[in-house]
Amino acid sequence: MFVLPDADMELIDIAQFQGKSNIILFFYPRDDAPCCTLQATDFSDHEDEFARLDCLIIGISRDDCIKHAEFRDKHGISVCLLSDAEGSACKQYGVWQAKEVNGVKKHGIVRSTFVIDKQGVLRFASYGVNAKGHALEMLRTVKELKK
């Protein structure tokens, strides 16, 4: 469990949703990158369908709240975006990993998604996801988990 600020600098305690909503947490590398934009707008486009399945969608990156607000407003993103500037949630979920880019090792967020049920139990985890079509894939996953 964690508490992080959203794009409007309001602190969001993930524990407040326990007993109320299933949560889809998607970790993404950074605001405004093409794949990150695709993923966030795709989840936003399907937010109503997720809501019908009692799912709240939360995106997390290490960008600050101001960047999140600009990203949200520029692309019409409606899902909640949380800032994990310190990287605590990233480390907790194991998405902060070493990557090799052009022969140079760097740490960064591996695009990953988690489904947490209403009881707070982690029901699904996927690391290294492809942004294209991911929201619909997660919709199918949540429907399967509900059966």
Q: 8-21 pLDDT, tens per residue?
A: 999 999 999 999 99
Beta bridge partners of 11: 5
Q: What are phi and psi of 143, to 5 degrees?
A: -60, -40
**pLDDT for 26-71, tens place per residue?**
999 999 999 999 999 999 999 999 999 999 999 999 999 999 999 9
Question: How far apart are the C-alpha atoms of 142 and 25, rounded to whole Å?
Answer: 12
Question: How far apart are the C-alpha atoms of 56 and 48, rounded to whole Å?
Answer: 10
**pLDDT for 82-120, tens place per residue?**
999 999 999 999 999 998 878 898 899 999 999 999 999
Residues serving a catalytic function are 36
Query: What was the pLDDT predicted at 146?
Result: 81
Please list, residue by residue across 60-74, b when 16 or more beta carbons sit within 10 angstroms of its beta carbon and e when fewer do: bbbbbbebbbebbee
Res. 140 pLDDT band, cuts 50 70 90 = very high
